[in-house]
Structure 1
Amino acid sequence: MTTTPSQRIHARLRPLDATSARWTSGFWGQMHDRTRDVTIPQIWSSLSDPAVSPGLINFQIAAGLTDGAHAGPPFMDGDFYKWLEAAIASLETDPDAELAARIEELATLIASVQRDDGYLHTPVLIQALHAEQAVALADRFNFETYNLGHLITMGVRHHAVTGSTTLLDVARRAASFLEMLATDKPLELARSAICPSHYMAVIELYRATDDPQYLELAEAFLRVRDDFDGGDDNQDRLPVREQKVAAGHAVRANYLYAGLADLVAENGDEELLNVLEGLWNDVVDTKLYVTGGCGALYDGASPDGSPWQSDISRVHQAYGRSFQLPNTTAHNESCANIGMILWSERMLSLTGDARYADVIEQISYNSLLASISLDGGAYFYTNPLRQVRDLPFPLRRPGDTALHPTPTPPPSDERLRERYLSCFCCPPNIARTLARFHERAASVSPDGVFVHQYGGSELALGDGILSLREDSDYPWNERITFTVTGASDGGLPIHLRIPGWSSGATLAVNGQAQAVSEPGSYTRVEREWVVGDVITLTLPMPVRVLRGHRLAEEITNQVAVRRGPVVYALESTDLPEGVVLEQAALRRGASFEVSTDEVAGVSVTMLATQLAVLPDSQEDALYADIEDAALGSVPVRLIPYFTWGNRGASEMSVWLPVVW
């Protein structure tokens, strides 16, 4: 059973769910299969093994099924819920009796530990079980509202897919607890609204139940936030409507703005929509990496928060100033990049503007897929654009591979994906994003179907009114074909996204050329569709060499290479012996040969070219004379950025010096 969320009355587009959109072939079909067969089971193997993770056993302890103390970070409950959401999404697309039974068992377990007032946070519940002092919301960094938000979202999804009310009832009780806070303890709620997943959650609950109290609760969240005197770290230094630039913790920012976009879809607040558009533009125009990474800085200092030093707060994994985009020390937490997808898809639904789908594509093919290994079982927390050897300082890592003892982090040049991270927020977030990626394929409106993402979809709208099958090797090949596999009463108009990166796109229906709109828009194709009609969209993919903005000083006089939506990188694995990363430069006007080969057993498109070799300086001085030597030349292959780090420890760079 799958029920479709209602409402979104102020949105122009409604996303399709699994009853209407699937990835059945091609690039995203392969990713779907990998997520189902590897990622979701692998994460469960970690969460369910107490020697690796406390994810499951914390709930078992809270239920009195076993003895022990709470272990792991305070947001572990939320990460467990995210995995369950991924598993439920997999159950929806690929029914599996064993998985269904496990999900129902876990649903019963979760329901059994919830307090009567709706509160559920295993650290506090375990303390209370042991007759220890246990206080809810005692510390804003206990992430209780974050956990409850993911609980509600997962509960709504569980009901939609299975029809069971077990977790929907849990979600309702959790929302009641949040409503009590908003009414009776607004200061505690505002202070504890860290990583505000609960904004999105209560709107999902409203859509699932059609109960207006949950819409009113979302509006109360905003009022409470605006009355709280906080800081940039959690985007509560200024009332939301006064915010002009994205600042502070990038995950928290993106989650907040995604939740507010959900609110606009229900209440039609034009002023708030304008604020969100301005903030989104600020990120995309001045703070977004070419890979779609978000949150450049390990630590920011809230530089524009106040002229007084005493009022400036430390900000972790932060949006920095405009064009402040370091490469080696880029943070780009995987959750922040996913948060930008969540925000962008909601803005797309509100406006129908293709630029939001462009950014979803940019993130998805680059930073999202870089955050998970090619085999689907290991993960990055941060996503740099450059990796170098012998870094003279350690970069903080959440990647402890065991709970006790905490191992010494490996050297910086050994930054590799790991199967388990002690800060485990990213892996289940990656899993649920990929497991639900079919929801980003297309949307419907009164004007027809809008196809946002390409890569092997099948779409089936209404009661047989229109069905489409996509056949393509996108993003490696420029040709995308849609075949009409079902149509009644002439079907619907079809709107195909012409990516903003493209130039010279062509479109044909049954071999007859059609007009194509400009890049960064949707081309509308309308006719009386019949079974067997074929639409062919061709998106030429020349290799493009990109420069950065003049104020992005970390990439001055450097270039990046992109083909279609895919950003490329140079990995030291592909450099000849005797040439190191800092010697590699791209010649202006260099030619590229497109070829297919494998990285760690996965077939991808590579770009072969000749790189210039800069003189090698043996001096390790801070400053040294440049050597008067001729430039060398070596053949190399550039690989898709998302594939780096799958062949062992290496150096890597997206940006390369350019020489003439």
Structure 2
Amino acid sequence: MPPTTALRVHAPLRALDADHARWTRGFWGALRERTRDVTIPRIWESLSDPAVSPGLRNFRIAAGLDSGIHYGPPFMDGDFYKWLEAAIDSLETDPDPDLAARIEELAELIASVQRADGYLHTPTIIAARNDEPVAALADRFNFETYNLGHLITAGVRHFEVTGSATLLDAARRAASFLEDLATNKPLELARSAICPSHYMAVVDLYRVTGDERYLRLMEAFVRVRDDFDEGGDDNQDRIPVRLQTTVAGHAVRANYLYAGLADLVAETGDEQLTGVLENLWRDVVDTKLYITGGCGALYDGASPDGYPWQGEISRVHQAYGRAYQLPNTTAHAESCANIGLILWGERMLSLTGDAGYADVIERVAFNSLLASVSLEGSEYFYTNALRQVRELPFPLRRPGDTGQHPTPPPPPSDERLRERYLSCFCCPPNIARTLARFHQLAASVSADGLHVHLYGGSDLRGADENGRSLALREDSDYPWDGRIGFTVTDAVGGGVPLHMRIPGWSAGATLTVNGDPVPVSAPGAYTRIERAWSPGDEVVLTLPMPVRILRGHRLAEEITNQVAVQRGPVVYCLESADLPEGVVLERAALRRGAELTPVEAHIDGRRLIALEGELTVLPEAGDDLYDDLDAAPVGAARARLIPYFAWGNRGPGEMSVWLPLVW
């Protein structure tokens, strides 16, 4: 792999690449293999099959290799680039000459389609090839800048992993096009800067090339956004970024924006912007984050919600909503939004070294991220509900549904199941690239040593500028068991200090080195261990994993008098498949003090830890909107709760994370 500048001069923590961090066993090791062997190949099968997806075909038509018109949403190019990035990331951890050759071939195809000025958008290029009147940036919802951002990111990763400049050259040309817009057509750029993947992308380009024009371009993006006076909360461009105090609007767009701004801070050290981002993060985590790590609660919202000056209110799609507005059955929590929160969180972690960001990343990863893909690794959720009920009396919008039906809309369906291909295909390749690069989230290095963020089967190596290094092998059954053992496999110059994250959810953690106790920091912080390390040294972190019963904030109305169950980092749910015959979901409740016992179970051939115990069975309820309270006695039944990420893998059924509490 060729060297990169990897500047990040104001970020104390730096992620490790695949040569220094790898999931090789355990929970995340199995997920890495599944992503490599199932997820990435199956998505390619869809994208390359014109009977399923126009993804590849659009590029072939744009290149003149096939004839026809553009099909699919205008952001389909970006979906294709995200799959390419996933394949490249997989290539970094698991070299594959055939995959490398395919990626280079696709890079050449993409580069051949690009205009001389750097613009690349297959709908526009195909229309021009077919002599149809067309203009670039004619509609912000054509997502041209979003597509170009993902092209740039894929180009950077292709160069970093393989050394090929084919896609990197295309990325530089794309950045030149955006630079021309920022300089000569700032209004057009501001109107088109929707879902700003290009913010993160140009900083990546700056880091890999060392060319400061790309850092200046990122600063220009922010100026253009701040000067824009036609915006609204849906794209977070109502007010300048440094004046924002509340996260509102489209959740994916918000998280991408703030992740990009955090990248800017890592290069400039802008303390004011750091404070803004910290406050916005707290707004999400303290008031707008589902217990599963899902975010962007509403299919549709209004912002500012309930504002006295009605002229200021605008419709918002896939919205964050107001504080504590967290519906369950109609939770949107788009998979891309949850991934965007990881992108934002990992950047804030690198800036601050605050373990609280790693806590949120872990919450998202073990719950909403993994729930968005089937246990087989080949089917996907676009939205991630926390409750599914039978006979829902209204239809919920499906991915890609514009609402413009030539015939009446489809009837309501309570069979919300993962699908292999979605007409709005942005989430599956985003899930794939997140899992394929998940090794980058395992640990970081700083001037003060090696920081371990996530657990689940890693091999790690961290080094300092003086040539000292420390290599570790993790053996654990995390997240099912709280004993996490690390063995030192190499220690050059006595190694470097080791920082072990004590999860914020934990209590009573203990830590030993070669059997000797080490003082442990408070939950939600790192414990620092400095010593002269030798191969064979053993570090054991033990995290007690009692079953926790959690309740929500008093203002979170939809979960009033309800509780959720969590063990370790894993949130649990109740599926109708695990209820006794004749007991429906709304009759299942949890009695205070009820004992839930961890048991080994299998779903779709995958091992997991379920929780078994006695549930309270409430009296039957009628279908009237309001009815008298039934005087019938409550009953009891044995049932099993499963990890939320495993729900929906046994066919249609009901499910809930939150259950009524019986005192």
TM-score by length of 2: 0.97
- Among candidates 624, 637, 641, match of residue 627 of structure 2: 624
Matches within 5 A, 1:63-82: 63-82=63-82
**Would the aligned equivalents of 1:197 and 1:255 in 2 still touch at CA under 8 Å?**
yes
Which one-letter code corresponds to 2:292 in the other structure? T
Tell me, yes or no, if structure 1 residue 521 matches structure 2 residue 551. no
Q: How far is the alpha carbon of 1:574 from its aligned partner?
A: 0.3
Distance in 1 of aligned mates of 2:462 and 2:505: 29
**Would the aligned equivalents of 1:72 and 1:422 in 2 still touch at CA under 8 Å?**
yes
Tell me, yes or no, if structure 1 residue 469 matches structure 2 residue 469. no
SS of equivalent to 1:616: coil
**Would the aligned equivalents of 2:40 and 2:83 in 1 still touch at CA under 8 Å?**
yes
Distance in 2 of aligned mates of 1:225 and 1:488: 48
Q: How far is the alpha carbon of 1:409 from its aligned partner?
A: 5.3
1:462-506 deviations in Å (ceiling 9; x for gaps): 477211000000000010000000111100000000000000000
**Would the aligned equivalents of 1:35 and 1:434 in 2 still touch at CA under 8 Å?**
yes
Matches within 5 A, 1:314-329: 314-329=315-330
1:127-177 deviations in Å (ceiling 9; x for gaps): 111111120000000000000000000000000011011111000000000
What is aligned with 1:434? Answer: 435
Could you tell me which runs of 5 or more consecutive residues in structure 2 were left unpaired when the two chains were aligned. none
Tell me, yes or no, if structure 1 residue 290 matches structure 2 residue 294. no
What is aligned with 1:92? Answer: 92
Which one-letter code corresponds to 2:393 in the other structure? P
**Would the aligned equivalents of 1:594 and 1:608 in 2 still touch at CA under 8 Å?**
yes
Distance in 2 of aligned mates of 1:453 and 1:202: 28
Which one-letter code corresponds to 1:370 in the other structure? A
Over 3 Å counting, the alpha-carbon distance change for 1:447 and 1:611 in structure 2 is: same
SS of equivalent to 1:92: helix
What is aligned with 2:314? Answer: 313
**Would the aligned equivalents of 1:26 and 1:455 in 2 still touch at CA under 8 Å?**
yes
What is aligned with 1:550? Answer: 554
Q: How far is the alpha carbon of 1:310 from its aligned partner?
A: 3.4
Matches within 5 A, 1:97-496: 97-229=97-229, 230-304=231-305, 307-398=308-399, 411-462=412-463, 465-496=469-500
Q: How far is the alpha carbon of 1:18 from its aligned partner?
A: 0.8
**Would the aligned equivalents of 1:305 and 1:311 in 2 still touch at CA under 8 Å?**
no
1:269-293 deviations in Å (ceiling 9; x for gaps): 0000000000000000000000000
Tell me, yes or no, if structure 1 residue 31 matches structure 2 residue 31. yes
SS of equivalent to 1:223: helix
Q: How far is the alpha carbon of 1:303 from its aligned partner?
A: 2.6
Which one-letter code corresponds to 2:449 in the other structure? G
Q: How far is the alpha carbon of 1:308 from its aligned partner?
A: 3.2
SS of equivalent to 1:459: strand
Distance in 2 of aligned mates of 1:410 and 1:527: 65
Q: Please, what is the CA RMSD of the aligned residues? A: 1.4
1:314-334 deviations in Å (ceiling 9; x for gaps): 100101110000000000000
Tell me, yes or no, if structure 1 residue 636 matches structure 2 residue 639. yes
Over 3 Å counting, the alpha-carbon distance change for 1:241 and 1:461 in structure 2 is: same
What is aligned with 1:511? Answer: 515
Over 3 Å counting, the alpha-carbon distance change for 1:28 and 1:61 in structure 2 is: same
1:24-73 deviations in Å (ceiling 9; x for gaps): 00000000000000000000000000010000000000000000000000
Large movers: runs of 4+ above 3 Å: 2-5, 304-308, 404-411
SS of equivalent to 1:524: strand
Distance in 1 of aligned mates of 2:456 and 2:445: 18
Moved more, 292-301 or 407-416: 407-416
What is aligned with 1:588? Answer: 592
SS of equivalent to 2:10: coil
Tell me, yes or no, if structure 1 residue 605 matches structure 2 residue 606. no
SS of equivalent to 1:276: helix
Identical pairs, percent:
75
What is aligned with 1:535? Answer: 539
Which one-letter code corresponds to 1:9 in the other structure? V
Q: How far is the alpha carbon of 1:407 from its aligned partner?
A: 12
Distance in 2 of aligned mates of 1:651 and 1:405: 31
**Would the aligned equivalents of 1:3 and 1:161 in 2 still touch at CA under 8 Å?**
no
**Would the aligned equivalents of 2:468 and 2:496 in 1 still touch at CA under 8 Å?**
no
Distance in 1 of aligned mates of 2:309 and 2:116: 46
Distance in 2 of aligned mates of 1:10 and 1:609: 50
What is aligned with 2:576? Answer: 572
Distance in 2 of aligned mates of 1:128 and 1:83: 26
Distance in 1 of aligned mates of 2:412 and 2:4: 48
What is aligned with 2:653? Answer: 650
SS of equivalent to 1:314: strand
Tell me, yes or no, if structure 1 residue 40 matches structure 2 residue 40. yes
**Would the aligned equivalents of 2:573 and 2:643 in 1 still touch at CA under 8 Å?**
yes
SS of equivalent to 1:568: strand
Distance in 1 of aligned mates of 2:570 and 2:386: 14
Over 3 Å counting, the alpha-carbon distance change for 1:493 and 1:407 in structure 2 is: farther
Over 3 Å counting, the alpha-carbon distance change for 1:412 and 1:18 in structure 2 is: same
SS of equivalent to 2:220: helix
Over 3 Å counting, the alpha-carbon distance change for 1:569 and 1:163 in structure 2 is: same
Which one-letter code corresponds to 2:653 in the other structure? S
1:376-417 deviations in Å (ceiling 9; x for gaps): 0000000000000000000001178xxx99997574311000
SS of equivalent to 1:414: coil
SS of equivalent to 1:248: coil
What is aligned with 1:559? Answer: 563
SS of equivalent to 2:303: coil
Which one-letter code corresponds to 2:540 in the other structure? T
**Would the aligned equivalents of 1:4 and 1:17 in 2 still touch at CA under 8 Å?**
no
Could you tell me which runs of 5 or more consecutive residues in structure 1 were left unpaired when the two chains were aligned. none
Which one-letter code corresponds to 1:548 in the other structure? G
**Would the aligned equivalents of 2:468 and 2:494 in 1 still touch at CA under 8 Å?**
no
Over 3 Å counting, the alpha-carbon distance change for 1:546 and 1:276 in structure 2 is: same
1:542-569 deviations in Å (ceiling 9; x for gaps): 0000000000000000000000000000
1:89-109 deviations in Å (ceiling 9; x for gaps): 111111111111110110000
Over 3 Å counting, the alpha-carbon distance change for 1:208 and 1:112 in structure 2 is: same
Distance in 1 of aligned mates of 2:2 and 2:514: 35
TM-score by length of 1: 0.98
Which one-letter code corresponds to 1:517 in the other structure? S
> How many corresponding residue pairs?
656
Which one-letter code corresponds to 1:210 in the other structure? G
Over 3 Å counting, the alpha-carbon distance change for 1:356 and 1:67 in structure 2 is: same
Distance in 2 of aligned mates of 1:407 and 1:612: 42
Which one-letter code corresponds to 2:74 in the other structure? P
**Would the aligned equivalents of 2:304 and 2:312 in 1 still touch at CA under 8 Å?**
no
SS of equivalent to 2:414: helix
Distance in 2 of aligned mates of 1:408 and 1:133: 32
Over 3 Å counting, the alpha-carbon distance change for 1:406 and 1:171 in structure 2 is: farther
